[in-house]
Amino acid sequence: MAKLFFKYGTVFSAKSLNLIATAHNYETQGKKVLLLIPQIDSRSDGHVATRAGLKLPAEIVAKTTNILDIYQVHLQKKQQIDCVLVDECHMLEKEHIDQLRQIVSNYDTPVICYGLRVSYTLELFEASKRLFELADKLEEIKTVCWYCNNKATHNLKLLDGKPVYEGNPIDIGGLEKYVPVCYKCYEHPDVEKVIHNPHKTDN
Ligand SMILES: [Zn+2]
């Protein structure tokens, strides 16, 4: 029986790299994967990209997209789908998660969602909340805190090197930077300890 997976982590936990490795494993066995990525802004170019420079084409999910429609187009073209992989799933709408659940239940196709659990404002993303409610299997993708060696559990927003704790949970494309942190460092980040800007070599 296929399952709905939510593999969650902080920023810099190599979620996209994990997704690309999974896609590679399916493809080397001659199996077909459907890659999905939310339309975050006008710059969304339909790729899953990693910080390590790997890139794979993905189908864009806009706010009003019904993911079942995307899936059915492939079925109508007689293209078997062995697995659905979703990048940045926290940016989806709650309804999209219900649609992914239906793909698992109606077509017995596994769906693996990769994304963040909570925002820098310490709120569950709507889509992540829905995944916690509907997923068959939850898995944490781990990384270490930027400032110490504890496990990172949260995302700290930095603007001009200063922590920011309030605002729109989803903000993209600005000058803000995010780093993975443990809760202690979320509250009291030793910002002087940052030895380099992680985003200088980003993308
Ligand atoms: Zn820490």
Is 166 contained in some domain? no
Is 181 contained in some domain? no
Going by C-alpha positions, the residue among 120, 194, 201, 196 that lies closest to residue 157 is 120
> What pLDDT band is residue 34 in, cutting at 50, 70 and 90?
very high
> What pLDDT band is residue 203 in, cutting at 50, 70 and 90?
very low
* Active site (annotated) includes residue 95: no
Among candidate residues 27, 59, 88, 176, the one labeled active-site is: 88
Whether residue 171 is predicted with pLDDT greater than 80 in this model: the reply is no
Is 19 contained in some domain? yes
The structure tokens listed for 198 are 């992680």
Q: How many CB atoms lie within 10 A of CB 149?
A: 7
The structure tokens listed for 34 are 């459907």
DSSP-derived pairing of the beta strands 154-159 and 162-164: antiparallel
CATH number at residue 35: 3.40.50.300
Q: Which domain holds residue 43?
A: 4-140
Tally of structural domains, the chain: 1
Is 49 contained in some domain? yes
Is 187 contained in some domain? no
Whether residue 169 is predicted with pLDDT greater than 70 in this model: the reply is yes
Distance in Å, CA 52 to ligand 1 centroid:
24
160 against 4, higher pLDDT: 4
Q: How far apart are the first and last CA of the chain?
A: 36
Whether residue 170 is predicted with pLDDT greater than 90 in this model: the reply is no
Is 146 contained in some domain? no
Distance in Å, CA 149 to ligand 1 centroid:
6
